[in-house]
């Protein structure tokens, strides 16, 4: 039996640049936590600090036998609803979500008009992107979500005006009301695929996972070549404090020379070291 693991306890923060998105039912649904959303998805802007809430309600009914014993409990209903308060209430895209696409006209600069009536809300695809502890991405996808309640809108001088929405999810063709995807961050590749010094034999033999080497030379100079495994990574070679471009020669002093090869990919780095002894 596994022990309790505090590392699996987390909080959910909105993804930088946008967390809640809405799209028409024709949009391509994401099937993982990190793939970029299709252009159909419209960012709904800032949400209140109450965050994005999910309520999976279950209603049951007890069946009693003669004498009062409960002999069976049946599930009579299961609901899947989400609540979020959108606070960019001067954003035309938010207003279209709340009141309907056809009920918003103009721009904030030219004059924005909102028509409020009893037009029925339409179903949409909803996505919420979050970042959990350890930069783990989480994405909630609602294939069929309909706004079924809008909370009281308060205008005062101390709080943000917001539209508190309840989104009810209905089952898709597979019977699922929503999907959840999680993905740990990808560790950038900072390895070398090749490292060589002409005329010299590295000890041990080069391997991407080995970072420390020695070699000897009798030459005044030798060409150093280092190639990163990932094309996005950068490679900096130094002989002592002197930078050497890959494919060019390094000049040795008598005795021990330290060559460092630093591979940088995003925020990650790895350094390979070669001690070159010139006799």
Q: Scanning the structure block, which residue is given the tokens 């993905």?
A: 183
Ordered by start, the domain boundaries in the chain are: 10-183, 192-278
pLDDT of residue 141: 97
Phi/psi at 225 (5° precision): -130, 130
Top CATH class, 192-278: mainly beta
pLDDT in tens, the chain (279 residues): 678 888 888 888 888 888 999 999 999 999 999 999 999 999 999 999 999 999 999 999 999 999 999 999 999 999 999 999 999 999 999 999 999 999 999 999 999 999 999 889 999 999 999 999 888 999 999 999 999 999 999 999 989 999 999 999 999 999 999 999 999 988 899 999 999 999 999 999 999 999 999 999 999 999 999 999 999 999 999 999 999 999 999 999 999 999 999 999 988 999 999 999 999
Phi/psi at 87 (5° precision): -115, 5
Cβ–Cβ under 8 Å, residues 170 and 153: no
Distance CA 71, CA 73 (A): 7
pLDDT of residue 278: 95
Distance CA 48, CA 46 (A): 7
In angstroms, what is the C-alpha Rg of the chain? Answer: 30
For the chain, the residue count is: 279
pLDDT of residue 2: 75
The first and second tokens of residue 181, run together, are: 């995807």
Contacting residues for 223 by C-beta, under 8 A, at least 6 apart: 197, 198, 247, 248, 249, 250
CA atoms within 13 A on the CB side of 20: 23
Distance CA 160, CA 155 (A): 8
Distance CA 142, CA 123 (A): 10
Q: CB neighbours (10 Å) of residue 144? A: 18
Distance CA 123, CA 110 (A): 30
Cβ–Cβ under 8 Å, residues 170 and 77: no
Distance CA 196, CA 172 (A): 57
Question: Residue 204: is the preceding peptide bond cis (ω within 30°)?
Answer: yes
């Amino acid at each position: 039996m596994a022990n309790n693991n505090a590392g699996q306890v987390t909080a959910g923060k909105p993804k930088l640049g946008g967390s809640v998105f809405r799209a028409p039912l024709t949009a391509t649904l994401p099937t993982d936590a990190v793939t970029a959303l299709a252009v159909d998805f419209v960012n709904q802007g800032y949400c209140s600090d109450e965050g994005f809430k999910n309520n999976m309600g279950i209603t049951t009914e007890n069946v009693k036998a003669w004498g009062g014993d409960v002999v069976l409990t049946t599930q009579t209903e299961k609901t899947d609803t989400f609540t979020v308060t959108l606070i960019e209430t001067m954003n035309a895209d938010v207003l279209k979500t709340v009141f309907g696409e056809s009920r918003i006209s103009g721009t904030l600069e030219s004059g924005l008009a909102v028509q409020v009536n009893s037009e029925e809300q339409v179903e949409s695809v909803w996505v919420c992107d979050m970042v959990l502890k350890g930069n783990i991405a989480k994405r909630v996808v609602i294939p069929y979500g309909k706004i079924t309640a809008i909370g009281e809108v308060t205008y005062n001088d101390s709080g943000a005006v917001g539209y508190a929405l309840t989104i009810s999810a209905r089952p898709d063709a597979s019977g699922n009301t929503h999907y959840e995807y999680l993905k740990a961050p990808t560790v950038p590749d900072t390895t070398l695929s090749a490292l060589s010094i002409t005329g010299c034999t590295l000890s041990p033999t080069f391997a991407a996972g080995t970072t420390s080497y020695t070699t000897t030379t009798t030459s005044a100079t030798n060409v150093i070549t280092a190639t990163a495994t990932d094309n996005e990574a950068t490679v900096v070679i130094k002989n002592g404090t002197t930078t050497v471009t890959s494919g060019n020669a390094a000049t040795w002093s008598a005795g021990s020379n330290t060559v460092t090869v630093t591979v940088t990919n995003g925020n990650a780095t790895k350094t390979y070291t070669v001690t070159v002894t010139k006799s």
